[in-house]
Amino acid sequence: MTDAARALDRLRGGNERFATGAVRRPDVSTNRRADLAAGQAPFALIFSCVDSRVPPELVFDQGLGHLFVCRTAGQVLDQAVLGSIQYGVLELGIPLILVLGHEECGAVRATLEARHSAPVGNDIDALVAAISPAVERADVAEGGDPLDRAVRYNVGNVVTALRGNAVLGAAVGAGSLRILGARYGLDDGRVEFL
């Protein structure tokens, strides 16, 4: 797990720079861009929400080619996302997957608000269905903000699903992959590793 530990350290360091306003914006030069034309070797995979306030490359102060990023509303998994994640692990040798939820997630909020309503009849229903187990768990839990509880439970559910995937679970079992969850705070810019 040395590679995953180093990757996690790089993410923590980058987020500390971002949160304190000491960003470096590494590896964004034209030379770096030209070097990457030959191939990529990202050190971590970030599966995060599509929210425009949470761009992983900025939140972790990383440059071109550092992160392999997949984004869906509320970190909802589907076959395309799973295939993309498996590609990153199998083909690119990425040692760390970080599922990144965030404070005030609109997809989780919409699921909280829709829990007693009929489906709306569009593809947003699939997002609500995927996030609903986290909302149901947050409903019975005590303490704190229900939305924040649901965000955290949703991250945990996605981490569990990824670890339970046959391909990814085999990599975890072999010691070549680590899968973790985290929550980004919109107010302070800090990532809390769960």
pLDDT digits (tens, 9 = 90+) for 47-82: 999 999 999 999 999 999 999 999 999 999 999 999
91-to-35, 72, 107, 165, 168 alpha-carbon distances in Å: 19, 22, 31, 17, 12
**For residue 191, is pLDDT > 80?**
yes
What are the pLDDT digits (tens) for 24-43? Answer: 988 888 889 898 999 999 99
Distance CA 26, CA 44 (A): 16
User: Structural domain boundaries of the chain?
Assistant: 2-193
- Three-class SS state of 9: helix
* Phi–psi pair at 138, nearest 5 degrees: -65, -30
Full DSSP string of 14-81: HHHHHHHT-----S-SHHHHHHHTT----SEEEEE---TT--HHHHTT--TTTEEEEE-GGG---HHH
What are the pLDDT digits (tens) for 93-144? Answer: 999 999 999 999 999 999 999 888 888 889 899 999 999 999 999 988 888 8
67 near 44, Cβ under 8 Å?
Answer: yes
Other Cβ atoms within 10 Å of 54 Cβ, number: 21
* CB contact set of 141 (below 8 Å; sequence gap of 6+): 149, 153
Instruction: Tell me the β-bridge partners of 183.
Output: 101, 192
Nearest Cα residue to 172 out of 161, 182, 183:
161
- Three-class SS state of 96: strand
CATH superfamily of 2-193: Carbonic anhydrase (3.40.1050.10)
**For residue 186, is pLDDT > 70?**
yes
The alpha carbon of residue 5 and the mean position of all alpha carbons in its chain are separated, in whole angstroms, by 17
Full DSSP string of 154-166: HHHHHHHHHHHSH
| Residue 67 exposure: Cα atoms within 13 Å on the Cβ side | 25
The answer to whether the pTM exceeds 0.85 is: yes
